Amino acid sequence: MSLENYWQGLLLLKQTIADTSEAVRFCFINFGDTCEVYLNRLPVPDPQKSLVLVIVDQDADIQHHKATSFLLDNTVLVLDYEYQLDEEVIDFLATYMPYCFLPLQARKRQRAVAITHFAQSLDGKIATSQGDSKWIGNDDNLIHAHRMRALCSSILIGSHTLNYDHPSLTVRLVEGSNPRRVVLCSTESDFSSLQSGSDNPVLVIGSGDDPCLKNTEYVQLAADKDGKVACTDILKLLFEKGLYTVYVEGGSATTSSFLAQKSIDVLQLHIAPLIFGSGLDSFTLPEISSVSDAVEFDRFYFKPVGDTFMFVGEMHHD
């Protein structure tokens, strides 16, 4: 069975979890030419397929023999439940499957769950001083980002990234549907790159009056004295719109404001073998005087991505 079969299963799983109103205690996924998802019940045995179990509720009375505890609070991912999965498949599922369960966390927290991703240099830069950031990451990183877009229900950027990069923010390198595109913006910006690729209008969030842009839905939220909208309000708004997960793709000001307001749940940093020596820092946060005041992670791992690697860290906020 190819990774493509497993990817199809993950897309089905993502949709099933997002759509269910059941309290999910455990879940079996049967991966094969066709995939099945069984919520809170035992699977129909099929020797041609690879069975994976995910235990969401630790009190669920389910026997298992091989477990990888992973991101997302106490969710246990039981890979290789019955049949021998090869290492590439285990790595693939361990990387992407946990994100399919994030809607459950979103319902618990009554806000969208936020994952952020950057491709940065060794010295922590995501763009040159002129704003150039193409292409810091390698091809595998691009595929990763498109997989994440397909697993998330929305993707969010700040207005400078829109104006510098003219991204389309769609899923093109893998199979999957496009997330709802969201831009934080209160100044005149060029939305032309977002005009095609999805029937859903771009969601623009700002603090000013409705700029009445073509093919957009505008939501005005209250701002602080610097014109910044509270990121918790943004996550609540997305949740109310049925957008349970958001992939925050930068830039620095946007991600930093989410991070500073404890509104990032998972951070993914792709590290490129480059040194800029100048340019735009990945994060700009209020100054700290002690190392003990630095942002820390509940859990983290480093994962090879092509010829380099990615840091993935989980943060827990109540």
Ligand X SMILES: NC(=O)c1ccc[n+]([C@@H]2O[C@H](COP(=O)([O-])OP(=O)(O)OC[C@H]3O[C@@H](n4cnc5c(N)ncnc54)[C@H](OP(=O)(O)O)[C@@H]3O)[C@@H](O)[C@H]2O)c1
Q: In the complex, which residues of this chain contact ligand X (CB under 6 A)?
A: 118-119, 126-127, 131, 133, 136, 157-161, 164-165, 184-187, 228-229, 231, 249-254, 257, 280
> Nearest approach, Cβ of 213 to ligand X (angstroms)?
12
The C-alpha atoms of residue 93 and residue 38 are separated, in whole angstroms, by 17
Of 69 and 187, the one with the shorter C-beta distance to ligand X is: 187
Of 103 and 250, the one with the shorter C-beta distance to ligand X is: 250
> Nearest approach, Cβ of 212 to ligand X (angstroms)?
16
Of 25 and 146, the one with the shorter C-beta distance to ligand X is: 146
Of 174 and 253, the one with the shorter C-beta distance to ligand X is: 253
Q: Could you tell me which of 146, 154, 164, 58 has the C-alpha nearest to residue 96?
A: 146
> Nearest approach, Cβ of 206 to ligand X (angstroms)?
6
- The CB-nearest residue to ligand X is 251
> Nearest approach, Cβ of 280 to ligand X (angstroms)?
6
> Nearest approach, Cβ of 123 to ligand X (angstroms)?
13
Of 54 and 157, the one with the shorter C-beta distance to ligand X is: 157
Q: Could you tell me which of 213, 175, 193, 221 has the C-alpha nearest to residue 4?
A: 175
> Nearest approach, Cβ of 104 to ligand X (angstroms)?
26
Of 175 and 240, the one with the shorter C-beta distance to ligand X is: 240
The C-alpha atoms of residue 115 and residue 238 are separated, in whole angstroms, by 14
> Nearest approach, Cβ of 146 to ligand X (angstroms)?
14
> Nearest approach, Cβ of 141 to ligand X (angstroms)?
9
The C-alpha atoms of residue 100 and residue 90 are separated, in whole angstroms, by 16
The C-alpha atoms of residue 265 and residue 122 are separated, in whole angstroms, by 23
Of 202 and 231, the one with the shorter C-beta distance to ligand X is: 231
Of 55 and 194, the one with the shorter C-beta distance to ligand X is: 194
What is the token pair recorded at 306? 């092509």
